[in-house]
Amino acid sequence: MNTYIEKLQWRYATKKFDPNKKLEKEKLETLKKAIQLSASSYGLQPYKVFVIEDPELRAKLRPAAWNQPQITDASQLIVFAHDTNFGDDQIDAYIDNVVQTRGLKAEDLKGYADFMKSKITPLPDDVKSAWTARQAYIALGNLLSAAAHLEIDACPMEGFEVEAFNDILGLKEKGLSTAVIATVGYRSDEDDTQHYAKVRKPETELFETL
């Protein structure tokens, strides 16, 4: 078995973190870089990621996450907030970034910008919001994979009240909404779930080659 698969076998959705063990700064920066380098549709990254360390803020968020202890016990709480008002302005900002990064002329990218605007901007708000949320999930997947590679424990979480998180973090006025959250840190020795056998569909059921 190759090392990458061994790391994925090692990881699990950590239920109990050791609150006394904090991520080393360089490892946290690596996780952030992994999120930054995640794939996204058109490369637009229609989301913002909040790394929450403040104990008081996390204590406020914990009741809105069904009182799950990971919220306060993990080294960091990471909130993926997707853009709820994505449109021409955000596409223009992306094009500006491409121009600066690659040393191109904006007029040379006008056709590409117009194409993206024609495909994204007219979408109904609910469809567009669902699309931006899916992009955030891709970034979450990259975080989980990178954490496993570094043997950092993580727990992806959908068990939270979206509106409560949005209110506490002031996301609505920023045109954002919580899509998914994750906690990262190091497992507690008392977390029995680390010893459970991993349950997945067999390959014969999961895959079909056509």
Please give the full DSSP string across 91-110, using - where no structure is assigned. HHHHHHHHHHHHT--GGGGH
pLDDT single digits (tens) 94-104: 999 999 999 99
Both tokens assigned to 189: 């020795």
pLDDT of residue 1: 55
According to the model, what pLDDT value does residue 2 have? 79
Residues in Cβ contact with 125 at an 8 Å cutoff, skipping those fewer than 6 apart: 84
pLDDT number for residue 27 = 98
Residues of the chain with pLDDT under 50: none
Name 146's Cβ contacts closer than 8 Å, sequence gap at least 6. Answer: 30, 31, 34, 35
CATH fold of 28-188 reads NADH Oxidase (3.40.109)
pLDDT at site 164: 98
The model's pLDDT over 47-83, given as tens digits with 9 standing for 90+, comes to: 999 999 999 999 999 999 999 999 999 999 999 999 9
* Structural domain boundaries in the chain: 28-188
State residue 183's pLDDT score: 98
Residue 183 bridge partners (DSSP): 77, 155
Say which residue the tokens 């596409």 belong to. 91
